[in-house]
Amino acid sequence: MPPKFSKEITEKIIYPERPDSQPRTSPCEANCPAGNPIQKSHALIKEGHLEEALSYLKSRNPFPGITGRICAHPCEEQCNRGQYDEKISIRGLERFAADRADLTRVTKPKRREPTGKKLAIIGSGPAGMTCAYFSALLGHAVTVFESAPIPGGIPRTLVPDFRLPKDVVDREMGQVLELGVQVRTNTAVGKDIGFDDILKIFDACLIATGTWKARQLNVPGAHSALSGVEFLRQVNLGRREPIGDKVVIVGGGGVAFDCAFTAKRLGAREIHVICVEGEGTMCATGDDLIQARAEGVQVHGSRMISKVLEKGGKAVGVEYFEITAFEFDEKGSLKVVPVSDTTQVLSADTVFLAVGVEPSLGFLPGTGAFHFTPKGALAADPERPMTSVAGVFAAGDVLTGPSTIAGAIGSGRRAAITIDGYLSGRNFLEPVNVRIGEDGCLATEASLPQSSPHIVTFEEMMNVQFFEKKGREATGKPAHETSISSFEGLDRGFANDQGPPEAGRCLHCGHCTLCGCCVENCPGFVLTMTPQGPQPTYYDECWHCGCCRIACPGGVVSYKFPLNMMV
């Protein structure tokens, strides 16, 4: 006869319905900086419930239309499905929900009753506006100060139209303003209003100014080159100056490549990107390198600039040499190992420098009250980001250094929760989650003890053959001749009939989908399927044979036996 176990021992079999925690999760959700509910949104998209899927996404990320286009998608890099056939198009599905859902039918969270507390936010980028969104829903009066003529930060004034149409940014930023958030544009803190004045007027302040200050190369003639960041900003604001036929961009990150692709669309015929990084180590994404090859952009890796050539105060080329290695010290200074003393010259009509950005925090009082990292970012705990000045918080790139849009969104949400605790007089240093309560309003609650669930690997999914092998859906692309001669979007997203099949490819790693395989394969009939998932009904009849675990296609069921278990 099979051994019988006491109820206490059998409860150590971890089924997904256990109320104390979600013990397992997927690699994609674990690697999403914005904290998107990926598998839940996929389940809803598969069934055609786009409005509900979008509601779930916006409960964590108010800008799914933005991240659905320009997120670096680290989630996809970790997708288990890639070891079965092809990775899920997670970013594409996020965009699909944001673009295709009927916004008039999307359930919006309600604002809590006004708290009477006032929050100032400096910077209207993803971090600042995410904090504004959640803070307004939590009942606080929010005023955002923005030095630019329009809110949106990097997505609005730095990302080119061919990556992110501005109507998408305006639509999603507008949904934040609908909550009563006030934005004072053309208002530079430290110039149009003093930082000390803000602290006198408001109960708390969030600094989310990003990293807009371009780093300078310490080489002769660097002052004559143009800033890549400023070039993209001016183009996005509609100001387009002639750049000539031949352009050289110094830098190997996303800004450098966006400068190259923008220059191409403005008429440049020969474009060169020079950077210290070699093949496979560039900060730019693989997609950027593929696009560069397709558009004829010449990339020169493992090169260091020794001089910017100038004539009459204008840059007319660069002098450079080959290197074998490079490194940055703790302050961000660059050290290189040259191949030889030989240098080469590359002429140009325009030279852009895009060698990195850093925070610009000159508006802060120079009293020593604020603490900074060696690279000039504000020092604070990224999870509960109050600075060294009471009531002043930080979020986004100004806290972490140059990062991603999704990372800034996650940082802004954590800041909103922390600030709410501070303004409400709670112990805001405790880990806190945010969710939609039964009344439709945001609710904050202490994090569950098991805050780091187990990430399910592909090897743990013993019944993956449950899923039919099927390739990834391809998003629409414009013709190459059209895309390089205009600012038309490079990706048209999924058609209406493509989203549900792509979402149906999701393996839902670590998440119960109520498929019933565990119940059907239990030889002892001790499991019952409920709307909350499988539940053991006859504890003392469980054989611990493992059939439920083997049958589960999502690797949801796990075992945890006490060390002193007696049979």
pLDDT in tens, 115-133: 999 999 999 999 999 999 9
Domain closes at, from 481, 503, 525 = 503
Same domain, 248 and 331: yes
CATH code assigned at 547: 3.30.70.20
pLDDT at 451: 55
Helices (H), ranges, 389-534: 397-400, 405-424, 480-483, 499-503, 517-520
pLDDT in tens, 187-244: 999 999 999 999 999 999 999 999 888 888 889 999 999 999 999 999 998 888 899 9
CA 183 from centre of chain: 23
Has residue 425 been placed in a domain? yes
Q: How far apart are CA 60 and CA 481, in angstroms?
A: 38
* Helix, strand, or coil (residue 196): helix
pTM: 0.90
Same domain, 352 and 379: no
Tokens 């176990």 correspond to: 5
Work out the pLDDT band at 333, boundaries 50, 70, 90: confident
Has residue 126 been placed in a domain? yes
Q: How far apart are CA 25 and CA 454, in angstroms?
A: 6
Contact present, 299 and 336 (Cβ < 8 Å): no
Has residue 445 been placed in a domain? no
pLDDT in tens, 392-429: 999 999 998 888 999 999 999 999 999 998 998 876 66
pLDDT in tens, 273-319: 999 988 778 888 888 899 999 999 999 999 999 999 999 999 999 99
Same domain, 78 and 191: no
What number is the average pLDDT over the span 505-509?
95
Same domain, 181 and 196: yes
Same domain, 390 and 459: no
Has residue 446 been placed in a domain? no
In the predicted structure, residue 9 carries a pLDDT above the cut 60: no
Domain closes at, from 440, 474, 489 = 440
Same domain, 324 and 432: no
pLDDT at 3: 36
Contact present, 397 and 403 (Cβ < 8 Å): yes
Same domain, 291 and 318: yes
Work out the pLDDT band at 539, boundaries 50, 70, 90: low
What sign does the dihedral 272-275-281-286 (CA atoms) show?
negative
pLDDT in tens, 512-536: 888 899 899 988 888 888 887 788 7
Residue among 39, 118, 19, 32 at smallest CA distance from 512: 39
CATH code assigned at 206: 3.50.50.60
Has residue 241 been placed in a domain? yes
In the predicted structure, residue 332 carries a pLDDT above the cut 70: no
Tokens 């209207």 correspond to: 124
Cα–Cα distance list, 413 to 129, 304, 394 (Å): 9, 39, 11
Buried b / exposed e along 324-354 (16+ C-beta atoms within 10 A): eebeeeeeeeeebeeeeeeeeebebbbbbbb
Has residue 2 been placed in a domain? no
Q: Count structural domains, the chain.
A: 4
In the predicted structure, residue 445 carries a pLDDT above the cut 80: no
Same domain, 291 and 370: no
Buried b / exposed e along 530-548 (16+ C-beta atoms within 10 A): eeebbebeebeebebeebb
Domain closes at, from 341, 356, 371 = 356
Tell me which DSSP letter residue 56 carries: H
Same domain, 307 and 347: yes
Straight-line distance from the first to the last Cα atom of the chain, in angstroms, rounded to the nearest whole number: 13
Same domain, 226 and 281: yes
Same domain, 395 and 411: yes
Tokens of 284: 């730019």
pLDDT at 429: 60
Contact present, 163 and 69 (Cβ < 8 Å): yes
Has residue 469 been placed in a domain? yes
Has residue 528 been placed in a domain? yes
pLDDT at 356: 85
CATH code assigned at 88: 1.10.1060
Average pLDDT, rounded, for the chain: 88
Share above pLDDT 90 across residues of the chain, in percent, rounded to a whole number: 61
Task: Dump the DSSP string for 368-430.
Answer: S-S-B-TTSPBP--SSS-B-SSTTEEE-THHHHSS--HHHHHHHHHHHHHHHHHHHHTS-TTS
Same domain, 235 and 350: yes
Cα–Cα distance list, 528 to 17, 104, 518, 531, 550 (Å): 12, 39, 9, 10, 17
Tokens of 165: 């149409």
List the domain range (segments joined by +) for residue 528.
7-17+512-559
Cα–Cα distance list, 293 to 225, 271, 288, 297 (Å): 25, 11, 9, 6
